[in-house]
């Protein structure tokens, strides 16, 4: 028997219907479409309005679409990893609720909380489980209700984020396709620059934490911006060199969608032409762990078996990473 590889065999996604535009934001805080477009590159974002619905709702919708597209039976799934930093509850895992909603009964399931790097981290775990030979079918689902932790009175953070979910089916194969390489790193010295200050075991909820808006995203934008450009560029170049890839070998470069200026700077460092860089930040903003699988979902129909794709991510922690995929199926045949 040859080496077992892990390959993505299908993608589902869910984006809430409500579209929050820059014009609407401009009526909530002192900002403008012109400022947001020129400094970040976002035109609108999707928001899950219902306060009684959370990440498990969107993750469930994404997995349901994945089942419908692939025809896979819930009983065949052996593990579910949910990448989220906006879980329904601190415990139990959002992954458990998703399993219950979609009828997955033979799997073990847990959440992976690595903020924007969550999808890549969860896919790394799934890949290792599959390459070990222990499991054959795993779902990686990323779901984020960022709007629940966005302060819509703070103009420095409220334009940045959106809600959404996406799920991939990861299977074992002996073909030379799938996840070829992943590099992940954490620089914990950056933890305080991007965080939620209260609501955890440090600084539990109190009147004071609510009055001070400490249950929302806190970000020191420029520190995060600089670290994002440097680390995403370095790790993307590292994965290209380690796999002897040149920009010409790539069908797509898929960067985390946090800021168009970060994306442009990283692509320039890698020498990748703009027409090979997947960008959809203008429609969905930063959906944290979900940006990369939403890009794959949007590209799916145009992808061909054997396409080389490099993805790169950066987020709170700081945690950052890059991965090299050799795409596993012709998307137009789905």
- By the rule CB under 6 A, 287 interacts with ligand UT7: no
In a 10 Å sphere around its CB, with 0-12 CB exposed, 13-18 middle and 19+ buried, how is residue 245 labelled? middle
- Concerning whether 101 is annotated as a catalytic residue, the answer is no
Closest separation between CB of residue 331 and ligand UT7, Å? 27
Between 39 and 136, CB nearer to ligand UT7: 39
CA distance 249 to 251: 7
Classified as helix, coil or strand, 237 is: helix
The two three-digit tokens of residue 280, written as one number: 């959809």
CA distance 240 to 221: 28
* DSSP letters spanning 10-47: EEEEE--SEEEEHHHHHHHSS--HHHHHHHT---EEEE
The two three-digit tokens of residue 177, written as one number: 């396709």
* Interaction residues for ligand UT7, span 3-32 (CB under 6 A): 31
- Concerning whether 286 is annotated as a catalytic residue, the answer is yes
Q: Which residue in the block uniquely carries the two structure tokens 């976002």?
A: 42
CA distance 84 to 165: 9
CA nearest to 212, candidates 159, 160, 153: 153
- By the rule CB under 6 A, 40 interacts with ligand UT7: yes
Stretch that binds ligand UT7, among 119-127, 134-142, 163-171, 254-262 (CB under 6 A): 254-262
CA distance 38 to 232: 21
Stretch that binds ligand UT7, among 145-153, 155-163, 243-251, 267-275 (CB under 6 A): 155-163
- Concerning whether 295 is annotated as a catalytic residue, the answer is no
- By the rule CB under 6 A, 259 interacts with ligand UT7: yes
- By the rule CB under 6 A, 221 interacts with ligand UT7: yes
Residue with nearest beta carbon to ligand UT7: 221
Query: Which of 35, 108, 152, 329 is in the footprint of ligand UT7 by CB under 6 A?
Result: 35
* Interaction residues for ligand UT7, span 159-218 (CB under 6 A): 159
Closest separation between CB of residue 250 and ligand UT7, Å? 22
Q: Which residues of the shown chain bind ligand UT7 in the complex (CB under 6 A)?
A: 31, 35-36, 39-40, 116, 155-156, 159, 221-222, 224-225, 228, 258-259, 262, 286, 314-315
């Amino acid at each position: 028997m040859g080496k077992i590889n892990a390959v993505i065999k299908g993608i589902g996604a869910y984006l809430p219907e409500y579209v929050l535009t820059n014009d609407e934001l401009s009526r909530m805080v002192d900002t403008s479409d012109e400022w947001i477009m020129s400094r970040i590159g976002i035109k609108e974002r999707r928001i899950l309005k219902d306060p009684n619905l959370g990440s498990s709702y969107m993750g469930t919708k994404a997995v349901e679409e994945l089942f419908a597209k692939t025809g896979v039976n819930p009983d065949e799934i052996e593990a579910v990893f949910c990448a989220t930093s906006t879980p329904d509850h601190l415990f139990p895992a959002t992954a458990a609720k998703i399993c219950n909603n979609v009828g997955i009964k033979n799997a073990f399931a847990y959440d992976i909380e690595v903020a924007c790097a969550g999808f890549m981290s969860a896919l790394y775990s799934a890949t290792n489980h599959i390459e070990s030979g222990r499991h054959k079918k795993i779902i990686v689902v990323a779901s984020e209700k960022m709007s629940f932790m966005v302060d819509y009175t703070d103009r420095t953070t409220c334009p940045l984020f959106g809600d959404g979910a996406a799920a991939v089916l990861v299977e074992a194969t002996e073909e030379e396709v799938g996840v070829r390489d992943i590099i992940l790193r954490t620089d914990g010295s950056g933890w305080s620059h991007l965080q939620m200050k209260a609501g955890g075991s440090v600084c539990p909820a109190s009147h004071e934490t609510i009055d001070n808006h400490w249950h929302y995203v806190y970000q020191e934008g420029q520190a995060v911006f600089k670290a994002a450009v440097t680390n995403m560029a370095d790790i993307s170049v590292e994965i290209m060199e380690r796999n002897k890839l040149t920009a010409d070998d790539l069908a797509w470069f898929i960067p985390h969608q946090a800021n168009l200026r970060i994306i442009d700077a990283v692509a320039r460092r890698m020498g990748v032409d703009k027409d090979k860089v997947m960008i959809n930040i203008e429609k969905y903003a930063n959906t944290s762990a979900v940006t990369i699988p939403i890009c794959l979902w949007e590209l799916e129909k145009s992808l061909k078996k054997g396409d080389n794709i490099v993805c790169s991510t950066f987020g709170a922690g700081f945690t950052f990473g890059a991965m090299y995929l050799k795409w596993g199926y012709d998307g137009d045949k789905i």
